[in-house]
Structure 1
Amino acid sequence: MAENYWTRYMRRRPMTRRTFLKGTALAGGGAATAVLIGCGDDDDDEPAPTAAPDQPDQPTATAAPDQPDATEAPDDDADEPDQPEATATAAPVRTDITRGGILTLASPVTGDQVYDPAITNHATTYAIAMGRTFNRILNYDGTGVVHPELAETLPEQPDELSYVFKLNPNIRWHDLPPANGRQFTAEDAAFGINRFNEPNAEFIQGQLDQIDTIEVIDDLTFRIVTKEPFAPMLRFLADDPVLMVNREQREAVGDEGMKLYENQLGTGPFIRNTFDPGVYAKVDRNPNYFEMGEDGQQLPYLDGIELIALSREAYEGAFITGEVDLVSFTTGLSLTEAESLQGQMGDRIDVYRKLHSAISETHMHTQKPPFNDVRVRQAVHLVINRQIAANPLGPGSGVLMGPVPQNFVPQAFTEEELLQMPGWREDKDQDIADAFELMNAAGVGVAADETITFNTPFQCPCHATGIKADVEQLGLNLELEPATSADYFAKRAQGEFIMNIGLEVGGIDPDTYIYHRFHTGAPFNRTAFSDPQVDRLLEIQRATLDPEERAQAIREASLAIIEHSPQAFTAQLVFWPVSRSYVHGHAEPVPAGLTFNFARLWKEA
């Protein structure tokens, strides 16, 4: 493909180590909870959340975000005898924590959800129960660093392909049939992980498909061997959907039964209880949960969590009066809403910022006219006004992004870098001129004095109306076709679109955003894009274990994707969860994903 302006610009720009490692402060806005729950959550995609560079090089589980991996072999001099061993100091037991009480949230309590983590990735499902009743082998914090959860420690890595996990011996399944409170074992872990690779068309596919074998060594130890070096491995095990389900329960009810609320059986801090669709849901404290609190007793602190179904109009009033304790941390409020509540309630509330894994998407089907011509796709990329599109759900609702979102800097382009690149820069004159030149070369649309009209499914008006106005300059007329989330996802999965505009949940590694979406035949390649050179670059980045080298590989792959423009990249979403100030224990920074088990939340008496 012939070079274009943005590739010439980026490739001639020197990339020093200082430039390469430089991050950016992310200005943030928010968006209404109802909007993301209603039209942004993706039931058939990878979830979300934050990440920092690759796991295999993190020296400890609490390393800085740009050194996130705890599995690299120690340096040669690490065992020298003159190095004194650090003495661990036990944290003091807190006496100010109040136990008990019910945490109340307002949320859609809909009855059409699927409660099988191998299938669903929906904020409402996680909020109603799934994010509280199950656990993962690993988890991640608000900086993207991976930590052990069901595992006792991060795995040993004797070589580039092997991960040896030791489980916490104190984990027990909920005391419900058919597990009846038995110990969680390595056999359970192997089943739970392997299930994601079973040949079920409904299952979330692609994240764990590089696993070659899982060997159970003993009751509490298992070894994962990958097919080749795989940089995202630990992050993918920590991702939201990789929740461990019970094998006896699956044997008893089958995959269809695993979709139902009443068949949730996990190891999490809360146990399923009441579910009245459209009215009320509740989970209760698990008295046998394995994690310990800061007061020296077993978590969770709360006796239970309840969700009440309220209309959007009633939500704010219920929060102000104390009927509701917090706004969902799976998403949050808009900045405007959060500021309004802060103005009314002052220090009676706490406002948190959440840089979400969800992104706005504008797909162009690369096998259908006019977008089977790369020049038309490039023209669309150039003409979109990202200063408007970057806020898809209202003022301050997003930050600019390229193929990889901002929470992955330095693997992602910073906002500062993007603002200097064609398509993202604020002065659009040259971009529009170049877009017309590309259309002239393609000989369609405005170049042929014609208007090309096609239906364009969209989830919510958000950024669709602005993009419609932008591309009209090119002779492209988008007949916007509103669709429910279910219909939008179905048409997108089946390729029944020429262009579509919506929101999509991402994941906790850049691979989710680039390999899964743009490699030939990848499970979430919506646009039917295929290019051997791009494929090779995407394969290199996921096989590169050194963090700095991988970041460079990801950037190179991102530039190649921008050249082909199968998708117009605009914004990563920002939300503002709000909590009453008497609720303590929230993680800061707020993790970007969906699984918030609230085991460490407590309410003042």
Structure 2
Amino acid sequence: MASDYWDRYFRRARRMRTSRRRFLLGSATVGIGAAGLGLVGCGDDDEEEPTATSEPGETPDPTATSEPGETPDPTATARPEETPQPTATATEAPPDTSAVPTDGSYYSQVGEPFVGITLDIHRGVSGIAGGVEGSAYSGLIRFDDIPAPTFRGDLARHLPEQPDAVTYIFDLRDDVVWHDKAPTNGRPFTMDDVRWNLDRQLTRTLADGTVADDFTLTNTVFTHIDSLDYVNDETISFTLKQPRGTWLESLAFAGFMDQGVAEQIESDPDVISADRIVGTGGYMFTEFVPDGRRIAERHPNWHLRQAGEEVQYFDALALLDVGADVNAVRIALEQKQVDWIGGRFQRQAYAPEFMQAIQDANSDIERLDVPALNANRALIYSWEIGPFSNPMIRQAFYLALDRQLVLQQDFAGEGRITGPLPWAFTDWALSEEEILQQPGYALNKDDDLQEARQLWEAGGGEDLEDNIELVANEPDAVRLSEWFTAMMNGNLGTDKIEVKGIPGGSILPYLTGEDPIAFLTPVSAWTSPDPRQRLARSYTTAGSINFGKYSNPGMDDLFDQAAATLDRDEAISAMKDIQRLAMTESGAGTILMAAATGRFLKWPYLKMEFNPWRLPVDERSWIDQSDPTFSGRPSL
């Protein structure tokens, strides 16, 4: 079962790298410099709108294979008194090579079209940094183990010294070199590079003096900095305006790029090529066709590899264009042109029957089921205007929602009903047991529906001049207009609920306009194992995706407490209080109902710990060339 796997995965994650210093994380992005807009249902996220036939693939699946067995201790000797039986032959079990990372071969996946995305990793929704392409870049620090979570030094020698709650002091490595390609040509990385990258993002100033408003990490990193002190050629000190428990993780996504390349992109942003991907990371791109093949090769002088860390085992990374036809995708997987399909890191959502057919025909292929963070169903509604400004109407709606039916209709029952925080956040989210005790969540809906109808009548639901119009993206609205309207009208004993479809290009104007909204959608951009900043964007008064304009000073105070603390347990406690408050406030303008389980298919020769936030292609991942399934894999 997926839940069993997820429990095993996190237990294993907590056992790994326990000697690393642990820091609190904040919601930022999945790769160096990237930041998801979280404009729900606007086509900017990693998932498509959920449909009855589409696979709710959102989160990458960690591998569901059993943990490798222990290798016998070669220094062990038999006790003198123990004598082997004369009929037995003592043999030493061979080492389990699948547990030992080995160099060689290449990593391959389906490449999504790189369209409408900037190569400037400081600006915009930089998809290059959010995917495999981000392996070309480095930050001051990087994740060590994402789910745990822990950090380690990258461009910095180690994690920062913190003499107090607002000061972070980093010492730069002296062995970092840029990729050996123009214009850097393998030169050393210096404090001048650090200064230019940080000052550019702090001031948001381009080469021509223009101040731009599209720098990705302005709100999560740079607005919190009170001062920067370039102490010497090796040391830099950040002083924050106030303690910020989510700041360090956000800084980990501040990628470092070459000034000359950045200025080329500024002057001609439409040119997309490998020549404009120049960093200090583990892989150098040699081919980059926006809607085609993209290839990266080892950076032979990568500082982390030179330091002996468990990184960079692939000779090359390949993102291949196999076309949009699902049959071509199936052929690519079955012929081992790609190592896996499905899940959060591919925009194409594959139907369950399609995935099952592949699995049935290929007994060696592994199926992985894990939580799908961004494949969910929510209702975002106006808090201050329109029918939901009436507390009785919105509470009636909240109670009448049949979340189990939503799970079945949207995701074929593959997932769970959920509270304000997706259930995949096992430490941060309210337990399933607690959620089922809350109004609106009981498996037996009788009491909820009785109260919902009473509130609907008392609140004047039948006397509303106009029907309550729920809006959805056009492809999704066709199905929702059938089952969702029937569910709500039936549960409230009315005929005043209807669903209307609008084109994708009209969604953002609808959400940000002056008229009341009621939008059925996935809520996305859950891109970090620490959900504080992402949830704040939906529920705080100034939240960037609080489209319902919900406002509660008590809620804002709780988020301030959660963001400021450096104590993880305190942060989790505050976040649970936030969820409880939202559930007493009829969802607080954003009702998250159910979240799906995503499905992956992969070949066993790929040894990679998939996680919901990032593909660790440049870390402890490798191709087991001794695995029987490796046979017949084509050369790159």
TM class by shorter chain equals 0.7 to 0.9
Alignment partner of 1:548 out of 564, 569, 584: 569
Alignment partner of 1:162 out of 150, 156, 167: 167
Q: Quote the offset at 1:489 in angstroms.
A: 5.0
Partner residue of 1:352? 368
Q: Quote the offset at 1:566 in angstroms.
A: 0.4
1:499 and 2:518 are equivalent in the alignment: yes
Partner residue of 1:176? 181
Partner residue of 1:306? 319
Q: Quote the offset at 1:392 in angstroms.
A: 7.0
Partner residue of 1:104? 108
Q: Quote the offset at 1:369 in angstroms.
A: 0.8
Partner residue of 2:532? 511
Q: Quote the offset at 1:145 in angstroms.
A: 0.6
Alpha carbons of 1:182 and 1:366: their partners in 2 closer, same or farther (altered >3 Å)?
A: farther
Partner residue of 1:453? 469
Residue type matched to 1:499 in 2?
A
Partner residue of 1:412? 429
Alignment partner of 1:243 out of 255, 270, 275: 255
Residue type matched to 1:517 in 2?
S
**1:468, 1:124 → 2: CA distance?**
40
Q: Deviations over 1:255-306 (max 9, x none)?
A: 8739945522222222223233444332233222222299989734223313
Partner residue of 2:133? 130
Alpha carbons of 1:298 and 1:448: their partners in 2 closer, same or farther (altered >3 Å)?
A: closer
1:434 and 2:451 are equivalent in the alignment: yes
State the SS of the aligned residue for 1:218: coil
1:222 and 2:232 are equivalent in the alignment: no
> 1:118–1:196: 8 Å Cα contact kept in structure 2?
yes
**1:537, 1:95 → 2: CA distance?**
44
**1:416, 1:162 → 2: CA distance?**
40
**1:149, 1:329 → 2: CA distance?**
29
**2:344, 2:45 → 1: CA distance?**
12
Alignment partner of 1:272 out of 261, 285, 309: 285
**1:134, 1:114 → 2: CA distance?**
15
Alignment partner of 1:580 out of 582, 603, 624: 603
Q: Quote the offset at 1:364 in angstroms.
A: 0.9
Q: Quote the offset at 1:187 in angstroms.
A: 4.9
Partner residue of 1:561? 582
**2:409, 2:285 → 1: CA distance?**
35
Residue type matched to 2:301 in 1?
N
> 2:119–2:126: 8 Å Cα contact kept in structure 1?
no
- TM-score for the superposition, normalised by structure 2: 0.71
Q: Quote the offset at 1:130 in angstroms.
A: 2.8
- Superposition pairs of residues 334-413 of structure 1, within 5 angstroms: 338-346=355-363, 348-358=364-374, 360=376, 361-390=378-407, 393-413=410-430
**1:533, 1:235 → 2: CA distance?**
26
Alpha carbons of 1:93 and 1:218: their partners in 2 closer, same or farther (altered >3 Å)?
A: farther
State the SS of the aligned residue for 1:577: strand
Partner residue of 1:597? 617
Q: Quote the offset at 1:533 in angstroms.
A: 2.0
Aligned residues: 521
Alignment partner of 2:158 out of 153, 159, 163: 153
> 1:230–1:543: 8 Å Cα contact kept in structure 2?
yes
Q: From the CA coordinates, give the structure whose radius of gyration is larger.
A: 2
State the SS of the aligned residue for 1:288: coil
State the SS of the aligned residue for 2:449: helix
Q: Deviations over 1:463-505 (max 9, x none)?
A: 8455443333455534331533x65456546677712222312
> 1:365–1:495: 8 Å Cα contact kept in structure 2?
no
> 1:365–1:499: 8 Å Cα contact kept in structure 2?
yes
1:480 and 2:510 are equivalent in the alignment: no
Q: Quote the offset at 1:93 in angstroms.
A: 12
Alignment partner of 1:200 out of 203, 206, 212: 212
Partner residue of 2:54? none
Q: Which runs of 5+ in 1 are unaligned?
A: 1-23, 29-35, 51-91
> 1:40–1:502: 8 Å Cα contact kept in structure 2?
no
Q: Quote the offset at 1:218 in angstroms.
A: 3.1
Residue type matched to 1:317 in 2?
I
> 2:118–2:269: 8 Å Cα contact kept in structure 1?
no
**1:207, 1:569 → 2: CA distance?**
24
> 2:480–2:499: 8 Å Cα contact kept in structure 1?
no
Partner residue of 1:143? 147
**2:104, 2:268 → 1: CA distance?**
35
Q: Quote the offset at 1:335 in angstroms.
A: 6.2
> 2:511–2:517: 8 Å Cα contact kept in structure 1?
no
Q: Quote the offset at 1:395 in angstroms.
A: 2.4
Deviates more, 1:97-106 or 1:537-546: 97-106
**1:429, 1:297 → 2: CA distance?**
55
Deviates more, 1:375-384 or 1:223-232: 375-384
Residue type matched to 1:593 in 2?
W
Q: Which runs of 5+ in 2 are unaligned?
A: 8-40, 49-57, 61-95, 205-210, 631-636
Alignment partner of 1:322 out of 330, 336, 339: 336
Residue type matched to 1:246 in 2?
D
Q: Quote the offset at 1:329 in angstroms.
A: 6.2
**1:256, 1:515 → 2: CA distance?**
36
> 1:119–1:202: 8 Å Cα contact kept in structure 2?
yes
**1:356, 1:116 → 2: CA distance?**
29
Q: Quote the offset at 1:313 in angstroms.
A: 2.9
- TM-score for the superposition, normalised by structure 1: 0.74
**2:255, 2:498 → 1: CA distance?**
40
